[in-house]
Amino acid sequence: MAQGAILVVGSLNMDQVVRVPHMPVVGETLLGAGSLKLIPGGKGANQAVAMARLGGQVAMAGRVGRDPFGERLLGALKSEQVDASLMVTDPREASGVAFIFLSPDGDNAIIVAAGANMQVGVDEEQFAHIVEAMRQASALVLQLEIPIETVKRLTKAAAEMDLPVILNLAPAQPLPRTTLSQVSVLILNETEASILSGQRVESVDDARIVAAVLQGYGIETVVITLGAHGALLVTTDDAGKKQSIYQAAPKVAVVDTTAAGDCFVGALTVALTEGQPPEDALHFAVHASALKVTKFGAQSGLPTKEEVLASYHS
């Protein structure tokens, strides 16, 4: 892995996308529109590809199965210049898949069959390679589609070597306070923030209150994404002064919200790792994810850096 690369440890899924007229209810058979679409996805891989398209130097560690989906998922990483030398092909488990129902207004419902993703870090040999690579990385990016135990162990190892951890708490799951206190940047949406804090998050003001509570766990920077309403970032600067920065989202025609959060995580990480001030990084991330929702598919819809910068003036 190249010195200074951003290391993503996370999931890869083959997304199986069906357009539906509305979300099905129990016992209902729905006729979807058109054919099934297979698109490379998975929160970890989406974030890695987002960063690569946005100008980051990225390596990814994860697991796929010894199957055609696995080959395609690995191929998708490599074609985006993501270093895949820490990827492992699992001899027993199938590649992860995600079943995605996409509604006409671009919203989705997702079910993941994690497969090989749930072996990430379980294999001690791969775990040791990841920790070794962390010594050369500029940041470690994690989500929660791999075993929680792996997330806890990697966060602890990163804290011991002073490596910043960016954690995207998706899908939402409880984490011990010790792990949270070792995270540098916590990124979560309204629902995830509500689950973690036990408090309602329905407005920017709610987000401000909850972000401050989460910062109290010892996290330097907390970012709560608010969908079409933008995002809020709360941080403490070098002088120990607390800053709360809100960025509204531009209005866009929504096609597909899948991976909008992943695009946000990727963009914010690249900008912060480049040393951009938090307000510029937040502006970049909100505009990147707004562009994502105008395009279909997870990795297929992620924007480039040039597209994001051009969108500032449109």
**Binding residues for ligand RIB (CB under 6 A):** 11, 13, 15, 41-43, 46, 98, 110, 112, 145, 258-259, 261-262, 298
CB 249 within 8 A of CB 229: yes
Q: Which of the residues 83, 162, 262, 280 is marked catalytic?
A: 262
Token code pair at residue 19: 């357009």
How near is the Cβ of 72 to ligand RIB at its closest, in Å? 13
* Cβ proximity to ligand RIB, 194 vs 258, nearer residue: 258
How near is the Cβ of 301 to ligand RIB at its closest, in Å? 10
Report the side by side order of strands in the sheet with 13-19.
Answer: 33-41, 13-19, 96-102, 108-113
Between helix 260-273 and helix 278-292 the angle, nearest 10°, is 150
Rg (CA), the chain: 18
Bridge-based pairing of strands 108-113 and 96-102 is antiparallel
* Cβ proximity to ligand RIB, 100 vs 185, nearer residue: 100
Amino acid at 48: A
Nearest residue to ligand RIB, scored by beta-carbon proximity:
41
Burial per residue of 260-290, b for 16 or more beta-carbon CB atoms within 10 angstroms, e otherwise: bbbbbbbbbbbbbbeeeebeebbbbbbbbbb
On the CB side of 314, CA atoms within 13 Å amount to: 13
* Cβ proximity to ligand RIB, 157 vs 167, nearer residue: 167
How near is the Cβ of 40 to ligand RIB at its closest, in Å? 8
206 a catalytic residue: no
How near is the Cβ of 314 to ligand RIB at its closest, in Å? 25
CA distance 175 to 8: 19
How near is the Cβ of 64 to ligand RIB at its closest, in Å? 13
Token code pair at residue 63: 């697991």
* Cβ proximity to ligand RIB, 225 vs 258, nearer residue: 258
CA distance 303 to 314: 15
CA distance 9 to 6: 10
* Cβ proximity to ligand RIB, 72 vs 129, nearer residue: 72
* Cβ proximity to ligand RIB, 157 vs 186, nearer residue: 186
How near is the Cβ of 41 to ligand RIB at its closest, in Å? 2
Closest among 177, 184, 145 to 161, alpha carbons compared: 184
Residues 239, 264, 187, 148: what is their CA dihedral angle, to the nearest 10 degrees? -130
Q: What residues act catalytically?
A: 262
